[in-house]
Amino acid sequence: MEYAEHIVDLVGNTPLVKLNALADGLKPLVLAKVEYVNPGGSVKDRIALRMVEAAERSGELKPGGTIVEPTSGNTGVGLAMVAQRKGYKCVFVCPDKVSEDKRNVLKAYGAEVVVCPTAVAPEHPESYYNVSDRLVGEIEGAWKPNQYANPENPASHYHSTGPELWRQTDGRITHFVAGVGTGGTISGTGRYLKEVSDGKVKVVGADPEGSVYSGGSGRPYLVEGVGEDFWPETYDRSVADEIIPISDADSFHVTRRLAREEGLLVGGSCGMAVAAALKLAERGTEDDVIVVLLPDSGRGYLTKVFNDSWMASYGFLPPDSTGATVGDVL
Ligand code: PMP
C-alpha cells in the first residue's frame, strides 16, 4: 500500500513541466515549477509547515495554542492545514476588500476570520495590522508567525524548493525566476542554488510595475500576492541578479494564455513570473535551462483575471471583446 500518514506530509516535491506554446521559438528550455499541487494549493504550504515546526521547537507555540496572522490568502490556508494536523486553533485577520469566497476557504478549514475595514490607515486601531497585534496580546497561548519577518520563511525554500530544483534539473538549471512578495521564495531558493552551483545560477525576480523591488514607490497594481510598498526582512537584497518589472496587463494576458495554451490554470502572479521568464528567454541560448515558479492555482481568480468583463473594466481587453464570462451558460 502506498499512502501518506497525513496530508501535511505531502507538502513539497512539486513537479516541473516544460512550457511549450508560450516558449515556442525561444532557444532556452523553459520549465515551470507547479506549486498548486501542494495539498493546500500553493507554495505557502512550505513556509507554513516550517514556521510552525520552528515555533514548536523554540517553545513560542505550545500545545493547544492559537496561530494569529494577518493573511487572507495562501499563507492562511497553509497554516490552517498544518494547525489541523497539530491541534492548534487559527485566527486570521483580513481586510474587508478580501472576497467572501477567500474568507470561506479559511473558515472551511476551521479557522476563525476577523474582518477589518480596508479604508483605514495602517496606524488606525482598527487596521488589520493593529487588530492582529491586539489579538496576539489578548488570546492566551497566541503566536504570530509574521511571514514578512520570520527567517523560517526563506529557510523553508533554502531547504526544500532549492534542493528540489537542483535535483530535478540534474544540476543543469541556469536561471531561476520567481515573483517577489515577502521575498521568501526568491531569497531562500536563490541562495541555495547560488551556493550549490558556485554562483553560476542566475536569480531573476519578477515584480509588478510600481512596487519597491523594481524601483517603484508602491503605486497600486492589481496582481495579487507580489510586490510591496516596503522592504520586508524576509527579502535578501544580495540574492537577485536582476528584477524585471511587469505590467498588470502583461501579467494577466500571460496568465490567461497559460490556461488556454498550456493547460495550466494558475493565478496572476504566475503569469507575471512567466512574462519575466519569457523576456529572459528571448535573450538566452540553447544551453540555458530557465525555471519559473508558479505559486498558486487560478481557481481563486475566476471572477477577476479569467472574467472578460473584469478585464475590460480595467482596459486589459477592448470593451467590445466581452463575450462569455464565468457563470454564463454556453
Ligand atoms: N504569488 C502569490 C499568489 C503569493 O501569495 C505570494 C506570497 N505572498 C507570492 C507570489 C510571492 O512569494 P514570496 O512571498 O515568497 O515572495
Q: How far is the CA of 229 from the centre of ligand 1 (A)?
A: 14
- Substitution site in 221, 226, 270 for ligand 1 pocket (most atoms within 8 Å of beta carbon): 226
Rounded to the nearest angstrom, the distance between the alpha carbon of 207 and the centre of ligand 1 is: 11
pLDDT tens profile 130-185? 899 999 999 999 999 999 999 999 999 999 999 999 999 999 999 999 999 999 99
Nearest atom in ligand 1 to 73's CA: 5
- Would strands 29-34 and 16-18 be described as parallel, antiparallel, or unpaired? antiparallel
| Number of the ligand 1 atom closest to the C-alpha atom of 235 | 16
**pLDDT class for 71, splitting at 50, 70, 90?**
confident
Residue 229 has pLDDT above 90, yes or no: no
| Average pLDDT for the chain | 94
44 is catalytic: yes
Which residues is 262 bridged to in the sheet? none
Give the separation between CA 72 and CA 160, rounded to whole angstroms.
24
**Under 8 Å between Cβ of 144 and 132:** yes
Residues 6+ apart with CB under 8 A from 239: 186, 187, 190, 191, 194, 203
Q: Whose CA is nearest to atom 1 of ligand 1?
A: 225
- Locate the ligand 1 atom nearest the alpha carbon of residue 295 and give its number: 1
* Active-site annotation holder among 44, 194, 202, 304: 44
Rounded to the nearest angstrom, the distance between the alpha carbon of 271 and the centre of ligand 1 is 13
Which residue type sits at 294? Answer: L
Residue 223 has pLDDT above 50, yes or no: yes
Say what the pLDDT of residue 235 is.
98
Backbone angles phi, psi at 152, to 5 degrees: -70, -15
Express each pLDDT in 105-121 by its tens digit: 999 999 999 998 877 88
C-alpha distances out from residue 70 to 65, 76, 95, 112, Å: 17, 8, 9, 12
Q: Which of 36, 42, 43, 157 for a ligand 1 pocket mutation test, highest count of atoms within 8 Å of Cβ?
A: 43
| Ligand 1 centroid to residue 301 C-alpha, Å | 15
Read off the C-alpha cell for 14.
512539486
Q: What string of H, E and C letters represents the secondary structure of 179-228?
A: ECCCCHHHHHHHHHHHHHCCCCCEEEEEEECCCHHHCCCCCCCCCCCCCC
Dump pLDDT digits (tens) for 24-55: 999 999 999 999 999 999 999 999 999 999 99
Reported pTM: 0.94
> Which are the contacts of 49, defined by CB distance < 8 A and separation ≥ 6?
8, 11, 78, 82, 156
Q: Which of 243, 251, 245 is nearest to 272 (CA)?
A: 251
d(CA 184, CA 149): 10
